[in-house]
Each structure stands twice: as structure tokens, then as C-alpha cells.
Amino acid sequence: MEGKRANNGLLFLFLAISFSLSTATTHPFHFQTQTLLIHSLPHPPSLSEALSVSESDESDPEALSLQLHHIDALSLNKTPEHLFHLRLQRDAARVEAITAPARRSGSGFSSSIISGLAQGSGEYFTRIGVGTPAKYVYMVLDTGSDVVWLQCAPCRKCYSQTDPVFDPSKSRTFAGIPCGAPLCRRLDSSGCNRKKVCQYQVSYGDGSFTFGDFSTETLTFRRTRVARVALGCGHDNEGLFVGAAGLLGLGRGRLSFPVQTGRRFNQKFSYCLVDRSASSKPSSVVFGDSAVSRTARFTPLLKNPKLDTFYYVELLGISVGGAPVRGVSASLFRIDPAGNGGVIIDSGTSVTRLTRPAYIALRDAFRVGASHLKRAPEFSLFDTCFDLSGLTEVKVPTVVLHFRGADVSLPATNYLIPVDNSGSFCFAFAGTMSGLSIIGNIQQQGFRVVYDLGGSRVGFAPRGCA
């Protein structure tokens, strides 16, 4: 009897193993791919083309929608290859400025900004009216900065900009902020001139700076006037600044535009950045409740007690081809008690930077999934490139970013990008020795990225540029 039971047990074990093996062979893991359409580097848009695209009026009177234009539109007579090279140069300077400790100025005061309209500048700008009557200038929009500022006459030193420099003496609504005012005290450390007017200084990671009077002024966005916006009126602006008149800070700090106008626009804004090589639609930014897309998946914002400017999110992992990448875990992206580490969403960084161990694991997983593609030499900061010359489309592994509460599935064009017009494409991520990881604008293309400061959350809506 005992022998019969043992035989039955062995038979049951054999059947169980056979069933599990047959199940594994009939239902293998399905490696997920998607199609990448081969295209060249985009030609720069002209400003006249960019500004000729009509914008529809919003039905919501408290909403505000503006076209965004890429900084390349301010660069004249440059080839696509040269523009891409310049973009990578700006990107390196931007990342250095964000990840380096904020440098204090020798004059003893500065705001908390460590990124902006310098060589490592925000990549997108829009047309904004300043003063009364409104004088229209180009302003860079930057989620990595707080203070709003622009160049002002008289200039002690001003860089070259596309429009005439704003003259506050010709505006009926310009007003200096007194030294003792609460707005002046919001600067990390404020200065004061002989006329008892508050002074600001913003110093950037590359040594550039802007200095002048901290003031209030009316800003006009198309038909919408926003009164008493605190901004820096810069009379001394030195360094690697380019083209635009100033900067509209969209960070989380107390002096940023969305925080200042919280009551008016409910502390909500969103943008959608188009892939210029694949779409003729303009990029756009929306302020107000209509900025929140119904299809957005949200992830909570995290607070970094040491730095309130940036939008920190929790990245739990990354999948390639439908499988979680081993070696990429939430522990690699935590903010430590000293305020180091973490992951930020940034509009002004182009290429996503991941802390080195996470990047190596992601890159290796992608190389395995793309082993059928012909490899090409490394290019600039990219160490994983492919020769796709002569092809019109290829299958590539899928890439999904897993944030807490939101899985963001990237289109192929958001991570395999052309680096020349000869068919070379590179994996558009890079490693960083800094603990801080940055989700850049190449990976954000085509999504409406929603910033809800009141709800302390960031959302991603795919195909959000329509």
C-alpha cells in the first residue's frame, strides 16, 4: 500500500512538472516592441512660421493658452547638425548648473535659482507683453527656475536680444518694491539701494547672473492681463545669455509665476512639447483649470526640504520590452536627509539623466532587446548608437517609466533619436555621477505634462498636443 502511494505521488509530481513545462512553452514571455519611423534631424523653424500658426480662443475665461517655440527658432543660418550640437552643449551646461551646489554671489545675496536663461537655459520660449501699454518680448519658460525677470533700460550691461530692451519709465503700471515689503523678504537674501528699492540678483551655475530692481508689473498673455507680478528688472545681465528678453520662472518656489498667480489660475499649468521632426503642430502651455487633461495619469510630487524649486517625483522602476529592468529600483532614486538624490521633471533639460547604476542597467537591457540592429560608434554623451541608414522603419524594444501611480509608456521617437542626417540614431538617455536624476524634454515630447501645485501632483497625458 505504501509503495502504491509513493508511485501515485511520483506520478502526480511528473504530471505537475509536465503541465508547468507545457504551460511555459505555450505561453512564453512576449517581448514587446514598437515601430520607429526613420527620420532626419529637424530643420529649424523660423519665427515667422512659428508665430503664424493660429491659436483658438479658450472657452474658459480664467484659462490661458500660449504657443511655445523652441530656442532653435532664434538661431539663424545654422544647419540641423550644428543646432543639435549646440543643444547638447546647452544640455551639458544645464545639467551641470542643476546638479552643482548653488553658488553664492560675492555681493552677499542671491535668489535660490540655479538654472535659467544661461547657456544651460530653458529650451522653449513664448511671446509676453510687459507693462502698460504692453511691449511684447520673448521670454523663456523654465520649470527649473522661480524668479521672473527681464532686461531693463537703462542698461549697465545687457546682452543682445531680439526685441528692444524694456524701459520701465514708459510703463504706467511699473512699481519698485520697497525694501521692507513681504515680497522683498521672499528673496533668499535681498539687497537694498539708496532709494530704498528692493534689489535682486540671480546667479547661475555657469557664472552668469542678472542684477537689478525687484518690482511689480503687469504681464499680458494674448488678451489676458495679469497685474502686479513680482519680477526682476535687470540692469546688469552678464554671461552666456541668448536671444530672449528674460525668463518666466515656473518652479515650485514662492516667487515663481504659478505660485504668485495661484488664485487666478488655481496653481495649475501644463505644457505639451511636440517632436519637431514628426509634427507641424506648435508646442503650447496652458494656465488654469483647463490645463488638467482628463486622460492624465498622476504621480504625487515629493518635497525636498533643502530645495523648493524643482518638481521631484518618485520613480519606482523602468521596463524594457515589457519586462522590469533588474537593477533599476526605487532605492536608487531616493532623496536622502541632506537633500541629495531624487528625480525631477525638467522642461529645460533635453536628455534624461539617470544615476549611473540605473542607467547602466537600462542601457544593457535595451542593447539586448535591440541586438538585431546594426551598431554605430558612440556620439557625444550617447554610448548606445545604431546605424539605421537605408531603412524606413525598425522594430525597437518598448520603454516604460514606472512612477508611483503612473506608468508612462514612451513613444519610440522619445528614446531613439537621430544625431545626424546619415542614419545614425542613439539611445537618448545618459548616466550621471550626480545622485540627481532628471527626466528631460525629449522623453516628455508628445505628452501633456500637467503641474497641479495645489494638488501636489504631476500628470502625463499621452498624445496631448492635439
Residues tagged active-site: 142, 346
Its sign, for the CA torsion 435, 440, 443, 447, is positive
Q: Which amino acid, 105?
A: S
Paired residues of 403 in beta bridges: 315, 406
Q: Which helix (H) or strand (E) covers residue 357, if one does?
A: helix 356-369
| DSSP letters for 123-164 | SEEEEEEETTTTEEEEEEEETT----EEEBSSPSB----SSP
CA distance 339 to 347: 21
Match 495649475 to its residue by C-alpha cell. Answer: 268
Which residue in 392, 348, 375 sits closest to 68, CA to CA? Answer: 348
Q: Which helix (H) or strand (E) covers residue 246, if one does?
A: strand 246-249
C-alpha cell at 230: 513680482
Q: Which helix (H) or strand (E) covers residue 3, if one does?
A: helix 2-26
> What are the φ and ψ backbone dihedral angles of 254, each rounded to 5 degrees?
-65, -20
Which residue in 201, 434, 249, 278 sits closest to 347, CA to CA? Answer: 249
Paired residues of 402 in beta bridges: 317, 407
C-alpha cell at 184: 522683498
> What are the φ and ψ backbone dihedral angles of 381, each rounded to 5 degrees?
-80, -5
The greatest distance separating any two alpha carbons of the chain, rounded to the nearest whole angstrom, comes to 106
CB 222 within 8 A of CB 140: no
Paired residues of 8 in beta bridges: none
DSSP state of 63: -
CB 177 within 8 A of CB 230: yes
DSSP state of 166: B
CA distance 34 to 410: 10
Q: Which amino acid, 185?
A: R
How many other CB atoms are there within 10 angstroms of residue 42's CB atom? Answer: 17
CB 406 within 8 A of CB 460: yes
